[in-house]
Chains A and B, each alone.
Chain A
Amino acid sequence: MFHLQSANASYNNKDVLVDITLQIPAGQKLALIGHSGSGKSTLLKLLYQQRPQDISLVPQDYGLVSSLSVFHNVYMGQLAYQPLWYNLVNLIKPLKKPLQDVEQILDNIKLSDKLLEPVAQLSGGQQQRTAVARAMMQGSDILLADEPVSSLDEHQSKLVMSLLCNDFDTVVLAMHDIDLALTYCDRIIGLDHGRITIDAPTTSLNRNDLLDIYGE
Chain B
Amino acid sequence: MENNAPIFQRPSRWKISGLFILIALACLPFADLTINTFDPMAELDRLFSGLLSPSLYPIESPIDALLQTVAFAILGVSSGSVIGFSLAQIFHFRLVRTICALIRAVHELFWALIFLQIFGLHPLTGLLAIGLPYTATFAKVYAEILEEGDRRAFDTIRHSSSFTSAFFYARLPDLWQHFIAYTSYRLECGLRSSTILGFIGLPTLGYYLSSAFLEGQYSEVWALLILFYLLIASIKYWVRPKLLPVYLLISPFIIANDSHISFDNVHRFFTQDIIPLPIRNGQGISELWLWFYNLFINEALPGIVNSLVLTQLALILTGFITLVWFPLISKLFFARFARSIGHFFLVVMRSTPEYILAFILLTLWGPSMLPAIIALALHNGAIIAHLMGHYSDALPLRLDATKGLNRYAYEVVPRIYGQFMAFLFYRWEIILRESAILGILGITTLGFYIDSAIQDIRLDRAMVLIIITALLNVCIDTISRHIRSRLRLSMGPEIISK
CB A133 to nearest CB in B, in angstroms, measures 14
Residues of A within 8 A of B9 (CB): 69, 116-118
Chain A 82-113 per-residue mask, 1 if CB under 8 angstroms from chain B, else 0:
00100110010010000110010000000000
Bound complex: CA of A45 vs CA of B400, how far in Å? Answer: 11
B415 contacts the other chain (Cβ, under 8 Å)?
yes
Q: Of A28-36, A51-59, A201-209, which binds chain B?
A: A51-59
Chain A: CB-nearest residue to B397: A63
CB A61 to nearest CB in B, in angstroms, measures 7
Query: Among B399, B404, B410, which residue has its beta carbon within 8 angstroms of that of A72?
Result: B410
Residues of B within 8 A of A61 (CB): 396, 398
CB A140 to nearest CB in B, in angstroms, measures 9
B173 contacts the other chain (Cβ, under 8 Å)?
no
Chain B: CB-nearest residue to A55: B400
Query: Among A66, A80, A116, which residue has its beta carbon within 8 angstroms of that of B7?
Result: A116
Whether B406 and A67, one on each chain, are in contact in the complex, defined by CB atoms closer than 8 angstroms, is no
Whether B406 and A87, one on each chain, are in contact in the complex, defined by CB atoms closer than 8 angstroms, is yes
Residues of A within 8 A of B399 (CB): 45, 48, 52, 57, 59, 63
CB A95 to nearest CB in B, in angstroms, measures 11
Residues of B within 8 A of A211 (CB): none
Bound complex: CA of A55 vs CA of B405, how far in Å? Answer: 21
Chain B 176-192 per-residue mask, 1 if CB under 8 angstroms from chain A, else 0:
00000000000000000
A79 contacts the other chain (Cβ, under 8 Å)?
yes
B262 contacts the other chain (Cβ, under 8 Å)?
no
CB A148 to nearest CB in B, in angstroms, measures 13
Known contacts A55-B400, A80-B402; A91/B13 CB under 8 A: no
A9 contacts the other chain (Cβ, under 8 Å)?
no
Chain B 1-35 per-residue mask, 1 if CB under 8 angstroms from chain A, else 0:
10010011101010000000000000000000000
B414 contacts the other chain (Cβ, under 8 Å)?
yes
Residues of A within 8 A of B246 (CB): none
Chain A: CB-nearest residue to B418: A67
Whether B8 and A116, one on each chain, are in contact in the complex, defined by CB atoms closer than 8 angstroms, is yes
CB B223 to nearest CB in A, in angstroms, measures 45
Known contacts A52-B400, A94-B8; A84/B414 CB under 8 A: no
A26 contacts the other chain (Cβ, under 8 Å)?
no
Bound complex: CA of A65 vs CA of B405, how far in Å? Answer: 16
Whether B402 and A79, one on each chain, are in contact in the complex, defined by CB atoms closer than 8 angstroms, is yes
Bound complex: CA of A72 vs CA of B415, how far in Å? Answer: 13
Whether A91 and B4, one on each chain, are in contact in the complex, defined by CB atoms closer than 8 angstroms, is no
Chain B 351-385 per-residue mask, 1 if CB under 8 angstroms from chain A, else 0:
00000000000000000000000000000000000
B243 contacts the other chain (Cβ, under 8 Å)?
no
CB B419 to nearest CB in A, in angstroms, measures 11
B229 contacts the other chain (Cβ, under 8 Å)?
no
Bound complex: CA of A118 vs CA of B415, how far in Å? Answer: 12
Residues of A within 8 A of B95 (CB): none
Residues of B within 8 A of A198 (CB): none
CB B408 to nearest CB in A, in angstroms, measures 10
Known contacts A55-B400, A63-B397, A67-B418; A76/B410 CB under 8 A: yes
CB B333 to nearest CB in A, in angstroms, measures 15
Bound complex: CA of A91 vs CA of B409, how far in Å? Answer: 8
Chain B 425-467 per-residue mask, 1 if CB under 8 angstroms from chain A, else 0:
0000000000000000000000000000000000000000000
Q: How many A-B residue pairs have CB under 8 A?
A: 69
Residues of A within 8 A of B213 (CB): none
Whether B406 and A57, one on each chain, are in contact in the complex, defined by CB atoms closer than 8 angstroms, is no
Whether A103 and B1, one on each chain, are in contact in the complex, defined by CB atoms closer than 8 angstroms, is yes
Query: Among A56, A66, A69, A88, which residue has its beta carbon within 8 angstroms of that of B8?
Result: A69
Chain B 86-129 per-residue mask, 1 if CB under 8 angstroms from chain A, else 0:
00000000000000000000000000000000000000000000
Known contacts A57-B399, A79-B410; A65/B4 CB under 8 A: no
Whether A65 and B411, one on each chain, are in contact in the complex, defined by CB atoms closer than 8 angstroms, is yes
Chain A: CB-nearest residue to B13: A67
CB A208 to nearest CB in B, in angstroms, measures 36
Query: Among B8, B397, B410, which residue has its beta carbon within 8 angstroms of that of A87?
Result: B410
Chain B: CB-nearest residue to A66: B415
Bound complex: CA of A66 vs CA of B401, how far in Å? Answer: 15
CB B296 to nearest CB in A, in angstroms, measures 43
A1 contacts the other chain (Cβ, under 8 Å)?
no
A159 contacts the other chain (Cβ, under 8 Å)?
no
Bound complex: CA of A94 vs CA of B8, how far in Å? Answer: 9
Chain B: CB-nearest residue to A87: B406
Chain B: CB-nearest residue to A44: B399
A200 contacts the other chain (Cβ, under 8 Å)?
no
CB B270 to nearest CB in A, in angstroms, measures 53
Known contacts A76-B402, A103-B1; A88/B409 CB under 8 A: yes
Bound complex: CA of A17 vs CA of B460, how far in Å? Answer: 78
Query: Among B401, B406, B415, B418, which residue has its beta carbon within 8 angstroms of that of A84?
Result: B406
B269 contacts the other chain (Cβ, under 8 Å)?
no
A163 contacts the other chain (Cβ, under 8 Å)?
no
Residues of B within 8 A of A88 (CB): 405, 409
Whether B1 and A63, one on each chain, are in contact in the complex, defined by CB atoms closer than 8 angstroms, is no
Residues of A within 8 A of B397 (CB): 63
B417 contacts the other chain (Cβ, under 8 Å)?
yes
Chain A: CB-nearest residue to B7: A116
Bound complex: CA of A56 vs CA of B400, how far in Å? Answer: 8
A68 contacts the other chain (Cβ, under 8 Å)?
yes
Whether A94 and B411, one on each chain, are in contact in the complex, defined by CB atoms closer than 8 angstroms, is no
Bound complex: CA of A16 vs CA of B399, how far in Å? Answer: 19
26 contacts between A and B (CB under 8 A): A55-B400, A56-B400, A61-B398, A63-B396, A63-B397, A63-B401, A67-B11, A67-B13, A67-B415, A67-B418, A68-B414, A69-B9, A72-B410, A72-B414, A76-B410, A79-B402, A79-B406, A80-B402, A80-B406, A84-B404, A87-B405, A87-B410, A88-B409, A94-B8, A100-B1, A116-B9
Residues of B within 8 A of A (CB): 1, 4, 7-9, 11, 13, 396-402, 404-406, 409-411, 414-415, 417-418
Q: Shortest 4 CB-CB distances between A and B: which pairs? A: A63-B398, A79-B406, A57-B400, A116-B8
